[in-house]
């Protein structure tokens, strides 16, 4: 897919589906082996724009806006892991997408991994970046807001307001040191365009408060899990300069997950897919080509 055609093509390939009575906005393009890309908390499907552009010529690429983000439904309840896993399962049925390769970052990686642990026979391979293990994994600054539970109605209202204020694109720039290894990278045109739309339309901003309220459901990945005897190939990647989910957690996860490929990504923080897009694409390309699908 040529860069000068990307914006027009990307607009054509978004479809909205009803999944468990919730609207999911989904990008889909290409044909062949399906690869499903799952974004991080606070993100959008366009966080994977470099990868969608790279792999849509050889694979069937699918990338949803998870509920609470992008152009998908905004629940008024905690965004918990189990709900996302069930939603992903239903979406794959709707799309007639058997045995996909799953690729995820942060909560997207957690969703992909939990789905794979529950139904390993339904996954061809899984590529996981910066797996979210809930509150215990968070940077101490973020832990404060994630664990705060005000006692009064006014306190809860202010707490919700403060967290949701952080979803404004201008406010996110203030926390770039938590997100990126260095300064903000050059963004893909589609991600840059969506961020501009978020500045104008508050309905497109992330449901950060409800994400925070559901973070404890991801705590299971801060403890060892049981990897099934029959499990698909695993690529585990972690930003070496990740200041949201420290890279030391990658060693803890790797001990029980036993990935086939274990990769500490230099000069990358929490968003390696667009901090180091060429490097990530090359590693994914090799991983995909050596997967039995």
The domain segmentation of the chain, as residue ranges, is 3-289
CA distance 129 to 150: 33
% of the chain at pLDDT higher than 90? 82
Owner of token pair 């215990």: 136
Looking at the predicted structure, is the pLDDT value of residue 6 above 60?
no
Looking at the predicted structure, is the pLDDT value of residue 134 above 50?
yes
* pLDDT at position 172: 72
Q: How confident is the model at residue 10 (pLDDT cuts 50, 70, 90)?
A: low
Q: Where are the beta strands (DSSP E) in 111-270?
A: 125-129, 234-239, 261-265
Superfamily of domain 3-289: Alpha/Beta hydrolase fold, catalytic domain (3.40.50.1820)
Query: Considering the entire predicted model, what is its pTM?
Result: 0.95
Looking at the predicted structure, is the pLDDT value of residue 4 above 60?
no
Q: Where are the beta strands (DSSP E) in 84-130?
A: 101-105, 125-129
Least confident window among 45-59, 143-157, 244-258: 143-157
The answer to whether residues 24 and 65 touch, using CB atoms and an 8 Å cutoff, is: yes
Cβ-proximal residues to 170 (8 Å cutoff; 6+ apart), any chain: 199
CA distance 193 to 260: 36
Q: Could you give the 3-state DSSP secondary structure of residue 172?
A: helix
Cβ of 200: how many Cβ atoms within 10 Å?
8
Mean pLDDT, to the nearest integer, of 5-11? 60
CB-based burial of residue 126 (10 Å sphere; 0-12 exposed, 13-18 middle, 19+ buried)?
buried
Q: Which residue has the higher pLDDT, 6 or 227?
A: 227
């Amino acid at each position: 897919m040529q860069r000068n055609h990307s914006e027009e093509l990307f607009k054509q390939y978004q479809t909205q589906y009803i999944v468990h009575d919730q609207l999911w906005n989904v990008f889909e393009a290409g044909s062949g082996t399906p690869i499903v890309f799952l974004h991080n908390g606070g993100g959008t499907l366009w966080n994977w724009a470099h990868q969608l552009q790279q792999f849509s010529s050889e694979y069937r690429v699918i990338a949803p806006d998870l509920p609470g983000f992008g152009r998908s439904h905004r629940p008024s309840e905690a965004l918990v892991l189990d709900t996302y896993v069930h939603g992903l399962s239903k979406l794959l049925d709707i799309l007639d997408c058997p045995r996909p390769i799953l690729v995820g970052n942060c909560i997207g990686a957690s969703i992909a991994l939990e789905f794979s642990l529950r139904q390993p026979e339904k996954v061809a391979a899984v590529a996981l970046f910066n797996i979210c293990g809930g509150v215990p994994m968070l940077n101490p600054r973020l832990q404060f807001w994630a664990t705060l539970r005000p006692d009064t109605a006014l306190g809860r209202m202010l707490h919700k307001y403060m967290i949701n204020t952080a979803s404004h694109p201008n406010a996110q720039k203030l926390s770039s040191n938590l997100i990126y290894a260095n300064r903000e990278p050059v963004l893909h045109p589609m991600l840059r365009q969506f961020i501009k739309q978020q500045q104008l339309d508050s309905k497109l901003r992330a449901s950060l408060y409800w994400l925070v309220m559901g973070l404890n459901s991801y705590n299971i990945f801060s403890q060892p899990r049981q990897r099934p005897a029959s499990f698909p190939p695993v690529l585990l990647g972690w930003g070496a300069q990740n200041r949201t989910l420290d890279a030391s957690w990658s060693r803890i996860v790797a001990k029980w997950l036993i990935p086939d490929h274990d990769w500490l990504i230099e000069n990358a923080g929490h968003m390696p897919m667009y901090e180091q897009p060429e490097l990530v694409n090359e590693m994914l390309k090799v991983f995909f080509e050596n997967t039995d699908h």
